[in-house]
């Protein structure tokens, strides 16, 4: 069998939406589907093989059963967001049909169960089959069902959009987050192409459990990364975390705020859609993901600035987080154990276990209300056997001091320290961003416990991400920063030379 190298399948966009036309016969693309619903009627034996989707920054998607091919696209050609899209069969089984994979130097990769459509694309539009045998006979990328197989099946649709006079295509499971994201971004549903089994969503195991150490991820301010569709920084960071989950034994991810830059009048809330889409692959890791609310995640600031919202002011806008909650609540469900306000993640608590210890991460709103601090006190008191980590967007100032101003909110970080952090023997870490570049400090709580506070606000070109290694046997914390060598480049697996920090006598 001849298989075309993955890197040759990545460039360009589609030429026409009437690709289904066999030689000399015009056949219009299928009509847009009815409102999104799950299409099934009875159970069926599942198809066994994972089909991975890799997404390009311009929205195109490529599907493959080869993890190596998917990894190559990400490493060499700028594709991102690899995840399992659905299940099919690499071998022909009863009731399935071949699904052909095609690519073109100037076209979007696409899937089709129709040999006529595929041959027409090859003959008229310069497409090639992704795999052929020694005689040049096209080979299926995988096999799937052509008809509904019931409640154990999902419908895979084709979607299209026109950009600068050129067509782009993608495939997605109807009703999935990917499908909804494309529809909400203006893509047209061209209808179902085949049926498959749903993706397996079992979180990966923690192979490092038992060695006494694990990793905690901290992502600093990323608001400027949400400005453009072609910005790669968050996607490179997520790709790094996905590929290094096992090597770094990652157990939780904390974003210290300013996930997006408000842009509340942008059509379709583009900043939120981009970051929601780029963060989505983290769900597959099965790790608690904590998103702290920063000022740029609220309506406190004006669009594209750090100044007060000119329409409603910073004080009123600070507590308006509707967009943030609408887009990101589903991203933080793993490990979620408590919330200050119903259906809001502005103040939330997540729990997990690692290396024989229990851990609790509480994210607080910016310049919190006294009620939110009181709630956090109650949550910590209810978890005396947990090591507690607090995340607040503005806690340390750039010089390492604890911020003493409530600014356009209510309570300052100093209030949080005096009325929450120092009061509990099991609070170990406080994480923040917002100001300066980076800072750190160590305090002693009322019970003699060491409290380490770390701040980073690295709005730069190198996709920074902090990894904190906690050793529960040695009672130590080691913090390093990872990043890329250039704008939009991949994150290196070797830590940076700066911000290497070590703390001992943590008494976990």
| pLDDT reported for residue 268 | 60
Confidence of residue 39 (pLDDT cuts 50, 70, 90): very low
| pLDDT reported for residue 201 | 60
Contact 346, 297 (CB under 8 A): no
- The pLDDT of 270-287, averaged and rounded, is 84
| pLDDT reported for residue 185 | 84
Contact 438, 200 (CB under 8 A): no
Choose the most confident range, by mean pLDDT, from 190-199, 354-363, 487-496: 354-363
pLDDT digits (tens, 9 = 90+) for 254-270: 999 999 987 666 656 78
| pLDDT reported for residue 103 | 87
Which among 195, 194, 187, 171 has a CA at the least distance from the CA of 52? 171
CA 163 to chain centroid: 25
pLDDT digits (tens, 9 = 90+) for 150-194: 767 899 999 988 877 777 888 999 988 888 888 988 899 999 999
| pLDDT reported for residue 265 | 66
| pLDDT reported for residue 9 | 31
CA distance 19 to 125: 8
Percent of the chain with pLDDT over 90: 52
Report which of residues 209 and 173 the model is more confident about.
173
Whether pLDDT at 294 is above 90: yes
Whether pLDDT at 276 is above 50: yes
- The mean predicted confidence, pLDDT, of the chain is 85
Whether pLDDT at 352 is above 70: yes
- 61-75, 191-205, 226-240, 450-464: least confident range: 191-205
Whether pLDDT at 29 is above 60: no
| pLDDT reported for residue 263 | 65
Q: Model's pTM, two decimal places?
A: 0.68
Report which of residues 33 and 258 the model is more confident about.
258
Report which of residues 295 and 307 the model is more confident about.
295
| Helix ranges restricted to H, 113-166 | 115-125
CA 229 to chain centroid: 15
Contact 9, 102 (CB under 8 A): no
CB crowding 207-245: b at 16 or more within 10 Å, else e: ebeeebbbbbbbbbbbbbbbbeeebbbbbbbbbbbbbbb
pLDDT digits (tens, 9 = 90+) for 379-399: 999 999 999 999 999 999 999
Report which of residues 77 and 231 the model is more confident about.
231
Whether pLDDT at 199 is above 50: yes
Report which of residues 365 and 312 the model is more confident about.
365
Whether pLDDT at 2 is above 70: no
CA distance 63 to 67: 10
- The pLDDT of 237-246, averaged and rounded, is 89
Confidence of residue 304 (pLDDT cuts 50, 70, 90): low
| pLDDT reported for residue 389 | 98
- The pLDDT of 63-78, averaged and rounded, is 82
pLDDT digits (tens, 9 = 90+) for 83-136: 889 999 998 888 899 999 998 876 688 899 999 999 998 998 888 999 888 888
Confidence of residue 22 (pLDDT cuts 50, 70, 90): very low
CB crowding 113-136: b at 16 or more within 10 Å, else e: bbeebbbbbbeeeebbbbbeeeee
By CB atoms closer than 10 A (0-12, 13-18, 19+), residue 329 is middle
Whether pLDDT at 437 is above 80: yes
Radius of gyration of the chain (CA): 25
């Amino acid at each position: 069998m001849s298989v075309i190298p993955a890197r040759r399948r990545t460039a360009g966009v589609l030429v026409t939406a009437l690709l289904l036309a066999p030689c000399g016969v015009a056949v219009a693309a299928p009509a847009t589907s009815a409102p999104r619903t799950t299409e099934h009627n009875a159970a069926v034996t599942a198809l066994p093989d994972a089909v991975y989707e890799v997404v390009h920054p311009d929205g195109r998607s490529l599907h493959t059963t080869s993890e190596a091919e998917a990894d190559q696209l990400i490493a060499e050609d700028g594709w991102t967001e690899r995840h399992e899209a659905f299940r099919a069969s690499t071998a022909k089984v009863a009731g399935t049909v071949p699904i052909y994979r095609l690519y073109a130097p100037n076209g979007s990769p696409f899937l089709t169960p129709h040999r006529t459509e595929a041959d027409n694309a090859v003959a008229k539009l310069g497409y090639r089959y992704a795999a052929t045998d020694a005689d040049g006979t096209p080979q299926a990328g995988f096999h799937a069902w052509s008809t509904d197989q019931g409640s154990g099946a999902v419908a895979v649709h084709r979607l299209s959009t026109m950009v600068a006079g050129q067509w782009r295509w993608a495939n997605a499971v109807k009703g999935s987050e990917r499908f909804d994201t494309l529809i909400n971004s203006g893509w047209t549903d061209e209808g179902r192409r085949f049926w498959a089994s749903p993706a397996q969503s079992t979180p990966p195991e923690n192979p490092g459990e038992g060695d006494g150490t694990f990793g905690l991820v901290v992502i600093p301010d990323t608001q400027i990364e949400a400005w453009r569709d072609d910005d790669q920084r968050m996607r490179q960071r997520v790709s790094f975390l996905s590929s290094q989950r096992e090597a770094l034994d990652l157990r939780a991810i904390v974003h210290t705020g300013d996930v997006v830059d408000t842009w509340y009048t942008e059509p379709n809330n583009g900043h939120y859609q981009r970051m929601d889409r780029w963060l989505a692959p983290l769900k597959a890791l099965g790790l608690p993901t904590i998103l702290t609310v920063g000022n740029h995640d609220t309506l406190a600031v004006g669009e594209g600035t750090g100044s007060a919202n000119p329409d409603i002011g910073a004080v009123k806008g600070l507590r308006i987080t509707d967009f943030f909650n609408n887009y990101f609540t589903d991203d933080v469900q793993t490990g979620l154990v408590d919330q200050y306000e119903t259906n809001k993640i502005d103040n939330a608590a997540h729990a997990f276990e690692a290396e024989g210890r229990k851990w609790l991460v509480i994210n607080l709103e910016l310049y919190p209300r006294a009620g939110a601090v009181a709630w956090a006190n109650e949550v910590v008191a209810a978890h005396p056997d947990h090591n507690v980590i607090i995340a607040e967007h503005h806690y340390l100032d750039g010089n390492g001091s604890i911020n003493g101003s409530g600014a356009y909110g209510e309570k300052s970080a100093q209030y949080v320290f005096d009325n929450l952090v120092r009061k509990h023997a099991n609070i170990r870490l406080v994480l923040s961003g917002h100001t300066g570049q980076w800072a750190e400090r160590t305090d002693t709580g009322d019970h003699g416990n060491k409290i380490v506070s770390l701040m980073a606000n690295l709005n730069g070109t190198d996709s920074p991400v902090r990894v904190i290694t906690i050793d529960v046997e040695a009672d130590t914390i080691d913090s390093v920063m990872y990043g890329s060598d250039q704008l939009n480049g991949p994150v290196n697996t070797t830590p940076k030379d700066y911000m290497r920090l070590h703390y001992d006598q943590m008494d976990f």
